Every structure is written in structure tokens, then in C-alpha cells.
Amino acid sequence: MRAVALAVLRALVGVAACTPPPAELITAAPGPTAAPAVSCTPVPAEALAYLADGTCPWVLVPGEGLDMTLRRLDGTEAPSHDVMVPEACAGRCSYSGAVTVLGPVLLAVRADPNSELAEAVFVGAALGGRVLRFAPLWFGRPAVGDSTQQGPVYGLAAWVCGDSLVLMPGPRLPGAASEEAPRALREAAGAYELVDEELRRVDRPVPEDMKQCTRIPFELP
């Protein structure tokens, strides 16, 4: 009997040694859910300006009640902006723009009726508000070349400095090195905010080194 028991025990040990361990149960982690693709609506035929964005663009279209509307073509209820066109435009302005961290910013250029050059330039922003309003970029008397008015020698350029829209003087014609920027232009330079339904310069510090800022990529006239 003892011999038989030993034989059975050895057989059981042999079977256990030959039997592979059960496979470890591995549960696969669920992969990330793909974000739904953004479907942009077509650009309307009446669009007056097209502002490229990371996904769907913004377009400027004729508005109802107010002058114009700036809206994004993403097919959702994304906020739009009513655009209060400068009175000086009077139907003579063309528009372009750029999308910044401050939101969309527009450039309005009024054409000189007697030439192909610009007669006045404005920048517009909503800065978190519902309505986009404009401020002038040109001050002072225009320069004259070849019997044609070419606009002022200096103008304001638009920059983004942190959370501020900043307008700073810069030369725009070759003769700027021999002239001083007009006082009105220097007084208009600085940070801008919406105050009393106007886009105005405010008493807010701006960086001394503009390398800390990003110039808005407008094609200034």
C-alpha cells in the first residue's frame, strides 16, 4: 500500500509540474474617444472679410439693425459680434482682420476717392464684449508725393501685450526719419479698452520692450 501511495503522489507531482500556470487576465484600458470633427459652414457670398482661425474662420457680413456682424462659421451657437463701423467709413471702407488671443481684430481702410491709396485707417476689437468698435490709426496731415496724398508719415500699429490691445507709433513712409511723430499720434499711443461704448486709450502701463508683445499681422496701407 505504501508503495502504491508513493507512486500516486509522484504522478500528481509530475502532472502539476507539466501543467502551465493559468494565463493572467489582462483588461485593456479603453482608448481615448476621438473628438468629433468640426463641421464649418460655407462662406456666405455676401462676406466682406474672411479671418482665418485654427478651425473654422470668422466672416464679416452685413448685419441687421447694426452695421455689420462678425461671426464664426462653425455651425454652432458660437458668439458673434455686432460691428459698429466708423462713421468716417460711410460705405467707403474695405475690411481685413486677424484672430488673436484677444479675439478677432478688424482693420478698416477708407479709400481716397481720387486715388487708389488709403485716406484713413481704423482698428476694431470687441475685447470680450458683444460689440466690436473702432479707433483711428492715423493722425496728422497727410504727406504729398507725385501730387498725391499718401497719408501721414507715421501711424499706429496694433500689438497684443498680454491681455491688452496696444497701439504704438511707427513710421510708414520713407521720410519718417526726418520728421517727428505728431503730438496727437503720440498721445493716442498706449493700451486700449472699451470705455463708454468706445474703443479708447486708457491709463494702463505697457511694456517698455515691445519684444514682449506680438504684432497683429495686418497688411497696413
The DSSP output letter for 46 is T
> Measured on CA atoms in the order 189, 194, 196, 198, is the torsion positive or negative?
positive
The Cα 133–Cα 204 span in angstroms is 19
With respect to residue 31, please indicate whether it lies within any of the assigned structural domains: no
Average pLDDT across each block of 10 residues of the chain; the chain has 221 residues. List them in order: 48 50 52 62 93 92 80 80 91 93 96 86 95 95 77 94 95 83 94 95 92 92 85
With respect to residue 199, please indicate whether it lies within any of the assigned structural domains: yes
With respect to residue 180, please indicate whether it lies within any of the assigned structural domains: yes
With respect to residue 5, please indicate whether it lies within any of the assigned structural domains: no
Contact present, 167 and 105 (Cβ < 8 Å):
no
Would strands 164-171 and 148-149 be described as parallel, antiparallel, or unpaired?
unpaired
With respect to residue 140, please indicate whether it lies within any of the assigned structural domains: yes
- Which of 157, 162, 155 has its CA nearest to residue 207? 162
With respect to residue 170, please indicate whether it lies within any of the assigned structural domains: yes
3-state secondary structure (DSSP) of residue 186: helix
Question: What's the pLDDT score for residue 15?
Answer: 47
With respect to residue 78, please indicate whether it lies within any of the assigned structural domains: yes
With respect to residue 4, please indicate whether it lies within any of the assigned structural domains: no
Question: What's the pLDDT score for residue 113?
Answer: 83
Q: How many domains does the chain have?
A: 1
Residue numbers of the domain that contains 139: 41-215
Give me the amino acid identity at 56: C
